[in-house]
Amino acid sequence: NPEGDRLATASWDHTVKIWDPAGRDLLTLRGHDEQVLRVAFTPDGSKLVSLSSHAVKVWDPFTGAEIRTLGPVGGLSRYGLAVSPDGRTVAVTTHDPAVVLWDIETGEEKLVFRGHTSAVKNVAFSPDGRLAASGAGDIVRSEPGQVKVWETETGRELFDLRGHTDAIYGVAFSPDGRRLASASQDHTVKLWDVATGREILTIRAHTDTVRALAFSPNGWRLATACVDGVIKVWDATPWAGSTPPGLVRTLSGHGAAVFSLAFHPDGRRLFALSDNETIRSWDADTGNELHRESITPQIYALALSPAGNLLATGTTDGAVWLLDAATLRRERDLHGHGHAPVKSLAFSPDGGRLAIAHWAGRSVWVWDVRTGDVVSTLEGHSDAVVGVAYRPEGKRLASASHDRTGGVWDTATGRCVQTLTGHTSRVLAVAYSPDRRFLASAGNDGTIRLWDPETGKSMGEPLKGHASGVYAVAFSPDGRWLASGGNDWTVKVWDPMTGTELHTFRGHTDRVQAVAFRPDGRRLASASSDQTVKIWDLSVIGGR
């Protein structure tokens, strides 16, 4: 998605999954009754479009709710789905052959491009949305591939680009809209001048069908993927006339055909989905593999009971398991709060209750740990709830939500008693200080806010220091320090009384997802998307 914090995949198991860049399964979207072939986010990230052979569906990628179905349509191509830059139009390709444009808000058909003589396999919009390119070809008869460029307002064909000797599997405009790249079964990639329709150059380096290609957001790199499992990254900056392309990196080791590519908005990370059910992320500059993940359910959240005897774990398919902390044997499963990934868990101070927040819900579920029954459902947020925390005496529960607010709930009545407003983006975490002097909230806006736990009033100015979103907060056992973990790969320690940043720990190489103090307050643990947990010595900070 545009923010770079979610990755969508389409599967033959009839589902769409939402992942974070580290490969954790966040959400499963169910509604298609056949193989899902393609997915695309709208440019603002607020919607996700999915394609099967006979249906196009629009989803909310944060709740998993289906918004609408476009169609009915039939004979859709496996690779042909694109969303216009303004997010208002969806283009799909058919075997008729044609390209059909739909209004994403109304579900009405807007326009049909006709002119290809064989099945249309793919489509892409230009960055300004004025043009669309489509690729076609018959893979059985090995007919020459066709690339066409269209006006999106009128449907007029501007160019019929010929030169490939076999079917086209991918088309992509450069970010400046001046060039168009096409990938073919003839083992080549071609670059075209969008203004004139002239072929600029041909890349002959792959040994088999080129199935996917993607420009980096700044246009400096072009990645091309082959069915032999090899990805090549090209220097796209000097391409003019017949200038030969410069190969920057060859990324190999997938062991299976690579079918889809996506650059992260930072321009360095490249995600690749291959036919052996793995997602890999690469550093496109160094060629280093950053992460590899099998597409299977995982444990996403955990909480230890106050007595230390039970461990609660939340899975990516929505289950909550209660484990014996000594043996890790499953004691009980909690079901009934949905199938979305569990994002946060919190035991009540007496250990008798467990609060659950998950990606698709706008509610907090509270369970009786002993009986496995739902005690209450806390409702009031207008978007996903992703963080929960009990006040030390257990009479209040705080929640963090993507609706940019925090909530404070009366645990006896289930009533929302305070709404914490002030963050300008999603609230990602909440924490109470052990001495009940502070309630902290962390936001995707890069700030931490402190609140009076009794009144809900803001206390002082926001704590600013992280370069981007803050994903975790935790107070030291004596309440004197507040730790935070951020998307900027750092861990910070603050004085909550003064708002002063006391120290920054650097060493992680990706987002810090969780922080926790040792009970004696002498060590701080941090967990990161870089697949490491680090333990920090707090004696480097004065005042102890």
Query: In this structure, is residue 5 part of a structural domain?
Result: no
What is d(CA 479, CA 534) in angstroms, rounded to the nearest whole number? 22
The 10 Å Cβ neighbour count of residue 444 is: 20
Say what the pLDDT of residue 254 is.
65
Do the beta carbons of residue 409 and residue 396 sit within 8 Å? yes
Identify the bridge partners of residue 322 per DSSP, sorted by sequence position: 312, 332
Query: In this structure, is residue 9 part of a structural domain?
Result: no
What is d(CA 110, CA 514) in angstroms, rounded to the nearest whole number? 47
Same domain membership, residue 497 and residue 380: yes
Same domain membership, residue 307 and residue 274: no
What's the average model confidence in pLDDT over 364-388? 91
pTM above 0.75, yes or no: no
Residue 515 sits in which domain range?
299-540
Single out the residue in 280, 295, 310 at which a domain terminates: 295
Question: Can you give the CATH number for the domain in which 388 is found?
Answer: 2.130.10.10
Same domain membership, residue 256 and residue 241: yes
The residue assigned the tokens 């992942």 is: 19
Which of 205, 185, 212 is CA-nearest to residue 275? 212
Q: Which residues of 69-79 are buried (b: 16+ CB within 10 A; e: fewer)?
A: ebbebeebbbb
Same domain membership, residue 492 and residue 468: yes
Single out the residue in 295, 324, 340 at which a domain terminates: 295
What's the average model confidence in pLDDT over 284-309? 73
Tokens, residue 351: 């250990």
**Is pLDDT larger for residue 315 or for residue 38?**
38
Query: In this structure, is residue 38 part of a structural domain?
Result: no
Report the mean per-residue pLDDT for the chain.
86
Beta strands in 348-446 (DSSP E): 353-358, 363-368, 374-379, 385-390, 396-401, 405-410, 416-421, 427-432, 439-443
Which of 482, 464, 466 is CA-nearest to residue 474? 482
Tokens, residue 1: 């998605």
Single out the residue in 279, 295, 311 at which a domain terminates: 295
Using alpha carbons only, what angle is made at residue 102 by residues 183 and 184, rounded to the nearest 5 degrees?
10
Same domain membership, residue 272 and residue 418: no
Query: In this structure, is residue 192 part of a structural domain?
Result: no
Per residue in 26-41, pLDDT (tens digit) is 899 998 878 888 899 9
What is d(CA 177, CA 128) in angstroms, rounded to the nearest whole number? 8
Tokens, residue 414: 């289930």
Using alpha carbons only, what angle is made at residue 254 by residues 218 and 15, rounded to the nearest 5 degrees?
80
Query: In this structure, is residue 460 part of a structural domain?
Result: yes
Same domain membership, residue 403 and residue 255: no
Same domain membership, residue 470 and residue 401: yes
Query: In this structure, is residue 497 part of a structural domain?
Result: yes
Residue 278 pLDDT class (50, 70, 90 cuts) = low
Same domain membership, residue 359 and residue 471: yes
Question: Can you give the CATH number for the domain in which 229 is found?
Answer: 2.40.10.480
Which residues neighbour 196 within 8 Å (Cβ) at sequence distance 6 or greater?
none
Residue 400 pLDDT class (50, 70, 90 cuts) = very high
* CA 148, chain centre distance (Å): 32
Identify the bridge partners of residue 483 per DSSP, sorted by sequence position: 474, 493
Same domain membership, residue 333 and residue 291: no
Query: In this structure, is residue 482 part of a structural domain?
Result: yes
The residue assigned the tokens 């103090």 is: 517
Per residue in 5-33, pLDDT (tens digit) is 888 999 878 899 998 877 778 899 998 87
DSSP conformation letters of 104-158? TTT--EEEEE---SS-EEEEEE-TTSSEEEEEE--TTTTPPPEEEEEETTT--EE
Question: At 312, which amino acid appears?
Answer: A
Question: At 396, which amino acid appears?
Answer: R
Counting the structural domains of the chain, the total is: 2
pLDDT surpassing 70 at residue 541: yes
Longest dimension (CA), the chain: 77
pLDDT surpassing 60 at residue 543: no
Same domain membership, residue 399 and residue 474: yes
What is d(CA 485, CA 119) in angstroms, rounded to the nearest whole number? 50
Query: In this structure, is residue 500 part of a structural domain?
Result: yes
Say what the pLDDT of residue 296 is.
47
**Is pLDDT larger for residue 118 or for residue 428?**
428
Same domain membership, residue 248 and residue 330: no
Per residue in 229-272, pLDDT (tens digit) is 889 998 887 665 445 567 777 777 766 655 556 666 676 777 66
Per residue in 108-167, pLDDT (tens digit) is 899 999 999 888 889 999 999 999 999 998 766 667 899 999 999 999 999 999 999 999
Same domain membership, residue 225 and residue 329: no
